[in-house]
Amino acid sequence: MEAALTTTDADVVACVRSTAAATALHPVLSRHPGRALVVELDYRDPHSIRHAAQQCLDRLDQLDLLINNGAVNRIPGLPAPQSKGPLGELSAEALRAMFDTNVVGPVLTCQAFLPLLSRSARPCIVNISTSRASLTAVDGPGSFGYSVTKAALNMATRKLARQLDGLNGCAVAVDPGWLRTGMGGPDAPTDPGDCASRLLRTVCRDGAKLNGRFVTADGADLPW
C-alpha cells in the first residue's frame, strides 16, 4: 500500500500500486459498501499520483487525514547491499530509486492532495518513518538507503508542518515500530492493525499538538 486517506464522514480511500493485487482489501470493501474506495497510486510515477488525486477530487468534498505509508528498504531485483550497504556495495540506481519511493513520492502525494486537505478544518499528514532515521540514535552502518531516505522524509515532514500552520493542521512523522508486514516479515512483534488503531487514536486525540514532531504510534517523542 502506498497511502491511506480518510475523510470527515468516515469514508476511506486506500491507495495501492495494483488494485488487482490488493485482495486483502476485498473483505473490507464488502463489509462497508459505498464507504471505501480503492485507487491505484505508485509513488515512483508522478502521473499515477496526479491521477489518484483527481479521482478523489471527483469523489470527495474534503480530506482530513493523509497517511504516507509506502516505502522500500531495498530495491527489488537488485542485490540487497546496493540498497543497504556497506558503502563499497551501494549503487546509484538503488539509492535514486529509494529516494523516489521514500521521499519524492510522498511529497508529491501531499502536493497532489493539498486542494482536498485545504478544505478540511484540521488537515493532518502522517508520514510513516522509522527510528533508523534518527540522527541521534544511529546504531551502525546498515540499512544505509532506508535510513538516509527516511531521515529526508523527516525533514520533509518539518517543512510540511510549517506549510500546514496556516491551515490549522499538522504534519507528523511516526515510527510504527517493527511490524508484521511484507517488509517487516512474519517474526515482527507488532500487528499492523493494532498499530494503525493506536496511531489513529493518537492523531485524533492530540491533533495540532503533533505538528512538526517525530513520535511513536502512541505519541511519545523520538529524537531527531
Summarised one tens digit per residue, pLDDT across range 75-98 is 999 999 999 999 999 999 999 999
Residue 168 has pLDDT above 50, yes or no: yes
Q: How far, in Å, are 101, 149, 161, 220 from residue 75 at the CA level?
A: 10, 13, 29, 31
Judged against a pLDDT cut of 60, whether residue 7 lies above it is answered with no
> Which three cell numbers mark 43?
509513488
> What is the reported pLDDT for 189?
75
CA distances from 164 to 61, 108, 123, 125, 183 (A): 19, 15, 8, 9, 30
Question: CB–CB of 130/150 below 8 Å?
Answer: yes
Q: What is the mean pLDDT of the chain?
A: 90
What pTM does this model have?
0.91
Beta carbons of 2 and 69 less than 8 angstroms apart = yes
User: What pLDDT score does 88 carry?
Assistant: 97
Determine the pLDDT at residue 9. 44
Task: Enumerate domains of the chain plus CATH numbers.
Answer: 3-177+206-216 (3.40.50.720)
**pLDDT score, position 2:** 60
Can you say how many angstroms the Cα of residue 30 is from the centroid of all Cα atoms in its chain? Answer: 25
Pairing between β-strand 12-16 and β-strand 36-40 as defined by DSSP bridges: parallel
Q: Is the dihedral angle over the CA atoms 211, 127, 25, 184 positive or is it negative?
A: negative
Mean pLDDT of 36-63: 94
The backbone torsions φ and ψ at residue 127, rounded to the nearest 5 degrees and listed phi first, read -100, 120
pLDDT for 10: 43
